[in-house]
Amino acid sequence: MICDDDKALADELLAALRAARHEAMTCNHTMDVLREAEAGRFDLVVFGLDM
């Protein structure tokens, strides 16, 4: 799961992961990712947070 508000960067990371034959998806909402990660849906979560 790639969670980043920079859509261009998220799409680039998504394409790279899929090219390496990994399942991947993107989202924009951090809390949604955290809930699904807690449920054990992901092996890896990448956050791009600008603070």
Write down the pTM of the prediction: 0.67
Q: Dmax over Cα atoms in the chain, in whole Å?
A: 32
* Higher pLDDT, residue 19 or 46: 19
Phi-psi region of 28 (alpha: psi -120 to 50; beta: other; left: phi over 0): alpha
Q: Where are the domains of the chain?
A: 2-48
- Give the pLDDT confidence score for residue 18 in this predicted structure: 94
Residues 4-37 have pLDDT tens digits of 788 898 899 899 999 999 988 888 788 888 888 8
Q: Are 17 and 42 in contact (CB under 8 A)?
A: no
Instruction: Say what the pLDDT of residue 46 is.
Output: 74
At 40 the pLDDT is 87
Any residues with CB less than 8 A from the CB of 49 and at least 6 apart, and which?
30
Answer whether residue 51 shows pLDDT above 70: no
